[in-house]
Amino acid sequence: MFAVRMALHFGRYQLLRKIASGGMGEVLLARIAGQQGFEKLLVIKRILPNLAEEEEFCTMFFDEARIAARLNHPNIVQIFDMGEVAGSHYLAMEYVAGDDLRRLQRHAVRLGKTIPLGVTCRIIADAAAALDHAHKARDASGQPLGLVHRDVSPQNVLVGFDGAVKLIDFGVAKAAGKIQQTAAGVIKGKLSYMSPEQASGAEIDHRSDVFSLGVLFWESVTGTRLFKADNEPLTLHQVRACKVPPPSTVNRELPRELDDIILGVLQREPEARKYDAMSLRMAIE
């Protein structure tokens, strides 16, 4: 990590500090400066140099940019630019000053509390609005994109200090016209937040994302994990079994009306789920 006073130049951007890193790439806080004192903070997401020659990783990276660039919604992080600097592929994205939902949940657990119910409802309702926009998105010719995020998880929901909620990371999204298509039966995403059909490698649609958002909702109001187990095979088994206790039996301070909403989403069979993203948002409101 490097301090602001030692900003490194990266094309037309200045890299200020590392925000996060993973197996595929890293995310860095950056700024772009112009004339007359113009300056803007943003985020640079770039592929690690050792993976820059891997066609699959680069294709997934570019797919994310192409998909996210078509989405224009206040609850979805915007993509400003994509390119390559010295062999390093990057995306320039909107900067959200805040934290992700996973860190908020962990902080609440350390305090022996849950995230305040009103705050949780606002976060989930806004994330549902983002999903509704993505699910209904169309291409330039008016054809549905058939977009499914496939990785709705706490790490991909950002909460700004100003209260703004932003959905991020369409890197494993399923959409018509993607260059990189997932082979049948291949599972992508985080196991403990998958729908049963996604965890089984079956065909999925927008209802899978709404189920995943329901898992976030259940965990945020109870302060406990729903399907997460000691190992991946057991987690996979629990997701597929989909045995979900009413959240009010875990947190007795919750209103019973919330049980109906959350359990209405967390049904094993997609056909049994009562809500799409927009109707879930309206139910919460």
Q: Known catalytic residues?
A: 151
Give pairs for 115-122: CB < 8 Å, separation 24+. 115/220, 115/221, 117/221, 117/254, 120/217, 120/220, 120/221, 121/284, 122/163, 122/165
- Please give the structure tokens belonging to residue 180: 């990189």
What does the alpha-carbon distance between residue 72 and residue 79 come to, in Å, rounded to a whole number? 9
Helices 206-222 & 277-284 angle (0-180, nearest 10): 30
Tell me the CA distances in angstroms from 104 to 96, 144, 181, 237, one per residue in order.
Answer: 15, 34, 33, 27
Per-residue b/e over 173-197, b at no fewer than 16 CB within 10 Å? bbbeebebeeeeeeeebbbbbbbbb
d(CA 187, CA 75) in angstroms, rounded, equals 26
Token pair, residue 106, equals: 């962990």
